[in-house]
A and B are shown apart, each in its own frame.
Chain A
């Protein structure tokens, strides 16, 4: 139940984010979720897209450094304490969160979050056992 995420290197310079999203947009790639980790000099853009292979190909053609890695998309109840419950469960199972960010779309009463776990298999097992919904890539489209 892993989904594929693209991580993209960005120089900290005006217009770089516009350039990268422009390249993806022109290729007809849609962004489902994104987060930007940044330092003073560079940033890492992490995105979930509808077509990973096309996205990777056009980025490489444009000499943009990127890599594909696995993350987990988890359904969270859109109510106070929804995220806390999940994090407590993971803590109890000794799984660490490297980073996380939210999806842009949500339906009434439900939200989805993207997690990068240090041990994804263990995390997914614990979540499913507790009856928490974990998405496959196709569910997100």
Chain B
């Protein structure tokens, strides 16, 4: 079985596209017949499943977005009887109701399969001891990774998030060789390991499987240089399946999308037009094998580009660029576009500054104000006010010269910036409340 899964990543594109078209057609027919929302939506756009003659025809069909899921809360978009749904997950909504997703037994099988392929991409093998520090529960991260690791034949340690001291004890005592968690939580673990006098280098940890939040290449460099592990980016979202949508391989030049299950497109986020390969736009997925919740052209709000050339690793699967930002992440401050990842890169560049930060946008009168809160670490702390002031001036100057915005940098104590589920809360936009 393992060999079969492996081969799926290397299939020639012609055969792959044949399979995709067949699955796509079946999926459109199924949702048109079984999900009243899609019946209405296709009819309103004057399309029927038989209009799909080639993969490119998918662009004629309407998109689905997060509001459609909310409007049909909790089970309204399911394409199978509720009794066949063996699992639900939900993502915490920042406003109102959570987004609920469901899985049949076969969907759970697909999920395990794409997670096995994710770990194979990263070079994790049967026999590895893997610490799974993604949260277990309604969040998809914990159980998604767990099922894949078990099916691959790893020894899984189901740690879930939090309890740093115990995480480090287990990492050392159990001979952990790979860890799954958010990159910001891993940095926290590394700091604490260093403080306890047992740095990560002295453990057997070699690989990190990092996802669930956007992170930059400079953060990767920092993780790899300071801990000696190899850090991999994985991509997923609960609406599509959870983790396991795409993964970096050892070539680390983009993330391979498991497109025999999740058919990707790139569209212009403003006009909805489909964009050609290589062009940056909003990533859209159609789930072509899922039974419980096959969404058609689901808009992820993540901005990336697709590349179809064969990867150095030999895989033929399409690659997406690492997510640099989301359409709803972008802040417009005094007319300047700002993505939190830009600030993160600057903090990382300036020596010794750890990326626990928060952007606070407010409006006093007519002008927007940007404050960048940065947690002080033992590495940057100095006994002298002028050294800290110089560091602050340097950060402000970099933000001004690279982004063109005057920002106020404020140093705060560790733990000041709120963390939810291991994800730091990066942006606080207070302008709506003014």
The answer to whether B416 touches A67 (Cβ under 8 A) is no
Residues on B with C-beta less than 8 A from A16 are 413
Residue B381 interfacial (CB < 8 Å)? yes
Q: How far is the CB of A13 from chain B (nearest CB, A)?
A: 8
> Min CB distance, B185 to chain A, in Å?
16
Query: Are B378 and A65 touching (Cβ within 8 A)?
Result: yes
For A11, the chain B residues whose CB sits under 8 A away are: 411-413, 416
Question: When the two chains form the complex, which single residue of A9, A37, A46, A98 contacts B376, counting CB atoms closer than 8 Å?
Answer: A9
Please state if B415 and A44 are interface contacts (CB–CB under 8 Å). no
Closest to B410 in A: A41
Nearest CB in chain A: distance from B196 CB, A: 10
Besides A41-B410, A60-B195, A65-B377, 10 new A-B residue pairs in contact (Cβ under 8 A), listed by A number = A9-B376, A9-B381, A9-B411, A37-B385, A39-B389, A42-B410, A44-B383, A63-B414, A64-B413, A65-B376
A128 at the binding interface (Cβ < 8 Å): no
Whether, in the assembled complex, B384 has its beta carbon less than 8 Å from a beta carbon of chain A, the answer is yes
Interface readout for A3-25 with B: 1 if CB under 8 Å, 0 if not? 00001011100001000000000
The 8 Å CB contact of B381, one of A63, A65, A98, is A65
Q: Could you say which interface size class chain A belongs to?
A: 20 to 34
**Quick check: is A104 within 8 A (CB to CB) of the other chain?**
no
Residues B385 and A9 in contact, CB atoms below 8 Å apart: no
A42, A60, A66, A67: the one within 8 Å of B411 (CB): A42
B382-416 vs A, Cβ < 8 Å mask (1 yes, 0 no):
11110011000000000000000000001111111
Q: Please, what's the 1-or-0 string for B358-390, where 1 marks a CB less than 8 Å from any CB in chain A?
A: 000000000000000000111001111100110
**Chain B residues within 8 Å of A10, by CB:** 413
- A96 CB to closest chain B CB, in angstroms? 13
Tell me, in angstroms, the Cα distance from A65 to B412 when the chains sit together.
10
> Within the assembled complex, what's the spacing in Å between the Cα atoms of A16 and B415?
13
Give 27 A-B contacts (CB < 8 Å), ordered by A residue: A7-B381, A7-B383, A9-B376, A9-B381, A9-B411, A10-B413, A11-B413, A11-B416, A16-B413, A39-B385, A42-B388, A42-B412, A44-B385, A44-B388, A63-B413, A63-B414, A65-B376, A65-B377, A65-B378, A65-B413, A65-B414, A66-B381, A67-B378, A67-B381, A67-B382, A69-B383, A98-B384
Instruction: Say what secondary structure dominates the interface of chain A.
Output: strand
Rounded to whole Å, the gap between the CB of A20 and the closest CB of chain B is 10
- Report Cα–Cα, A63/B191, bound state, in Å: 12
Bound complex: CA A60 to CA B376 (Å): 13
**Chain A residue at minimum C-beta to C-beta distance from B377:** A65
Query: Which residues of B are found within 8 Å of A69, using beta-carbon distances?
Result: 383
Q: Residues of B contacting A39 with CB < 8 Å?
A: 385, 389
| B287 CB to nearest A CB, Å | 43
Contacts of A37 in B (CB 8 A): 385
Query: Could you tell me the distance between the alpha carbons of A69 and B384 in the complex, rounded to whole angstroms?
Result: 11
Q: How far is the CA of A37 from the CA of B389 in the complex (A)?
A: 12
In the bound assembly, the distance between CA atoms of A69 and B410 in angstroms comes to: 25
Most chain B CB atoms below 10 A, which of A9, A37, A41, A66: A9
Whether the pair A63, B388 counts as a contact (CB closer than 8 A) is no
Closest residue of chain A to B392 (Cβ to Cβ) is A41
- Is A41 touching B414 in the complex (CB atoms < 8 A)? no
List chain A residues, Cβ under 8 A from B384: 44, 98
- Chain B residue, CB-CB nearest to A40: B410
Which residues of chain A (24-73) have a CB below 8 Å from chain B? 37, 39, 41-42, 44, 46, 60, 63-67, 69
Q: Is A9 within 8 A of B413, CB to CB?
A: yes
Q: Which residues of A contact B378 (CB under 8 A)?
A: 65, 67
A8: nearest chain-B partner, CB-CB:
B381
Alpha-carbon separation in the docked complex, A46 to B381 (Å): 13
Measured between beta carbons, the chain B residues less than 8 angstroms from A44 are 383-385, 388
Which residues of the other chain, A, contact B382 by a CB distance below 8 angstroms? 67
For A66, the chain B residues whose CB sits under 8 A away are 381
Whole-angstrom CA separation of A60 from B191 in the bound complex: 13
B195 neighbours in A (Cβ, 8 Å): 60
Tell me the complex Cα distance, A69–B378, Å.
13
In chain B, positions 298-342 with a C-beta closer than 8 Å to chain A are none
Compute how far the CA of A33 lies from the CA of B411 in the bound complex, rounded to whole angstroms.
26
Q: Enumerate B171-196 residues with CB–CB distance to A below 8 Å.
A: 195
Residues in chain A near residue B381, CB distance under 8 A: 7, 9, 65-67
Assembled-state Cα–Cα distance A88/B376 (Å): 37
Taking CB as reference atom, which chain B residue is nearest A68? B383
**Segment 87-123 of A: residues with Cβ below 8 Å from B:** 98, 116
A66 and B385 CA atoms in complex are apart in Å by 14
- Shortest CB-to-CB span from A98 to chain B, Å, is 7
Contact B383 A63 (CB under 8 A): no
Q: How far is the CB of A47 from chain B (nearest CB, A)?
A: 12
Contacts of B413 in A (CB 8 A): 9-11, 16, 63-65
Instruction: Chain A residues near B388: list those with CB within 8 A.
Output: 42, 44
B191 to chain A, nearest CB (A): 11
